[in-house]
Structure 1
Amino acid sequence: MAQAQPVQVGFERLTTPDGTELGIWYPASGTPTRQQLGLYAHEVIAGAGAPSDRHPLIVFSHGTGGDFAGHVDTAVALARAGFIVAALTHPGDNWRDTSRATRIEERPAALSATITYMVQTWSGRGAIDADRIGAFGFSAGGFTVLAAAGGRPDLTRLQDHCAQHSTFFDCALIKAQKRTTAPAWPNLRDARIKAIVVAAPALGFTFDRAGLADVRVPVQLWRADNDQILPTPYYADAVRAALPGKPEFHSVADAGHFDFLAPCANPAIIPQLCKSAPGFDRAAFHASFDAAIVAFFSTKLARRRLH
């Protein structure tokens, strides 16, 4: 009996009609080639046709000043497991342009616009099972997917937080890029999102129990135990305490904030993002990180749960 061919990964990079850059990974067949993608690399079949059968969709939201490529290994792992992945580069909050980095209310809307593009406009939209959509977010992206899943932050908490922790990354960013106080948080919940993975969420302390009461989808939550950017207990721990349901929680010993980013092709280029603390093996961690995310979405977005 012939062995089934292993699932390979197709890849497409495009710009949507509204100007948003997307990277899209999906199950494909053929011979992949190793391609550089910014700081990272992946083995993909560029321009492969979208699959003919239907697959769940996972949308990715990166951290402040990042781009769509920051979690490429996780995207590839999900595509190999049968998911379609769409990662956006957030307008105004990416490495080329940080002019709107503190306008965080724009991020969940951009994530929802990515879902809409994928299910209504993308050339391969017929391969998406619109009843099975999940979201992954890191740092500011973690905040983004919490808000898109129904979270409502209380941004008035920023004032006291930054009075006590002026050197923290979020407070330094707000000091450098002043923002007017937003009115009441808009309703940005996207009911199409059925499960979320949240890694080192920014502004976790702005969510209390009331603010996360409407997050009723399954949550997988990750904390880096040596996070110097968003240190314990103000971020992942605050979210864990405020969620109405118990998340699938993972703490990663010795990991720093940027260890949730994909292993870099050449860590020497930007060591502050790419190099881990001595003794921490980012590649080995990502093998287990990616496997846990694939297992979570495979279980929570299984057809039997939604029909």
Structure 2
Amino acid sequence: MLTRLFILMSLLLSVIASNSAVATTSYRAGFQYQHMPDGTEIGIWYPTTGILVHQHLGIYEQDVAQDAPPLGHGLPLVVISHGHSGGFSGHLDTATTLAQAGFVVASLTHPGDNWRDDSRAVHVEERPKALSRMITYMLTLWPEHMIIDPTRIGAFGFSSGGFTVLAAAGGQPDFSRVTSHCKQYPEYYDCQLIERHPGALPIWTDSRDPRIKAIVVAAPALGYTFGRDGLRDVTLPVQLWRANNDHILPAPLYADTVRKDLPHKPEFHEVPNAGHFDFLAPCTSPVSICQSASNFDRATFHRVFNADIVTFFTRMLH
């Protein structure tokens, strides 16, 4: 009887492991660089057993198996939205960590709001639509799309990308709040950006993508534009991060406001001594976004940051 019970339990555990979104095995990270049919630049990370090579992507570096065949089936997908004037590679360490844990990850370079071209930077209404187009691409046109489970999709966003994933999760911003905000805080980064790109404020239409089941939000831009009413439909699980030394989006009008106004309490993390750009992958370039305060170790923080993101998505996209 005990032998039979042991065999049954072993079979059950085997079935669970084979169908699990994230296996306990640590994989290598495969990587592909592609363009969607509309020309949008994307990076794709996924589990593989391919041979790793050291690779430079602009100011960032990664060890990946370039174009190696993916491993697994029924895998969860996480999509990434970068901040203002960023690019698809800005969170590549988070992407590779997720891929090593058994996720497929896709990150886009937002058209008109990236390091090459920020001519559409204030047109934030275009961002969640671009993110949704990437999800559709990954589920239908990506040559390896059959390995993805379309019912298990998460999204990660930083800064303007944090705004993006909140909107894609059902958030409804009220841009009439921007005028009074910028009269009171004209020196804030968002107000300076709007001043550099004069014109009418965006006209908002519902951008919710019901395929997204959980989100991670780091230092969300325009957090104050939502309010309690604007976030009432964001009922999916949220992991929210705040840098305690954020001089770009200072407390309490961004992450703290989102935390207060979400209908359900998010999993909240505050990061002592961190600046705004410390959520970007560690980099060694002399440019300002690679510089951290002397009392903050970005590489050490990212090991914790990435592990917590993997744990959150593993739990929520089961």
TM-score bracket, shorter-length normalisation: over 0.9
Q: Higher helix proportion, which one?
A: 2
State whether structure 2 residue 312 is matched by structure 1 residue 275.
Answer: no
| Contact 2:45-2:106 within 8 A present in 1 as well | yes
Alignment of 1:171-250 (within 5 A): 171-183=191-203, 185-250=204-269
The alpha carbon displacement at 1:60 in A equals: 0.1
Between the two proteins, the alignment pairs up a number of residues equal to: 295
SS class of match (1:291) = helix
Alignment of 1:16-165 (within 5 A): 16-165=36-185
Unpaired stretches in structure 1, ≥5 consecutive residues = 303-307
| Contact 2:246-2:275 within 8 A present in 1 as well | yes
The alpha carbon displacement at 1:5 in A equals: 7.7
| Percent pairwise identity | 58
SS class of match (1:74) = helix
Quote the residue 1:292 is aligned against: 308
Greater C-alpha Rg? 2
The alpha carbon displacement at 1:50 in A equals: 2.3
Q: Name segments (4+ residues, structure 1) moved above 3 Å.
A: none
- RMSD over aligned Cα atoms: 1.1
* Amino acid of the structure 1 residue aligned with 2:82: H
Q: Distance in 1 between matches of 2:232 and 2:72?
A: 38
| Contact 2:162-2:218 within 8 A present in 1 as well | yes
Q: Distance in 2 between matches of 1:15 and 1:179?
A: 30
Quote the residue 2:4 is aligned against: none
| Contact 1:103-1:179 within 8 A present in 2 as well | no
CA deviation string 1:177-226 (max 9, x = no partner): 0131333x201100000000000000000011110000011000000000
Q: TM-score, normalised by structure 2?
A: 0.91
Q: Distance in 2 between matches of 1:216 and 1:61?
A: 20
Q: Distance in 2 between matches of 1:60 and 1:116?
A: 14
* Amino acid of the structure 2 residue aligned with 1:31: I
| Contact 1:169-1:230 within 8 A present in 2 as well | yes
The alpha carbon displacement at 1:31 in A equals: 1.8
Q: Distance in 2 between matches of 1:267 and 1:204?
A: 30
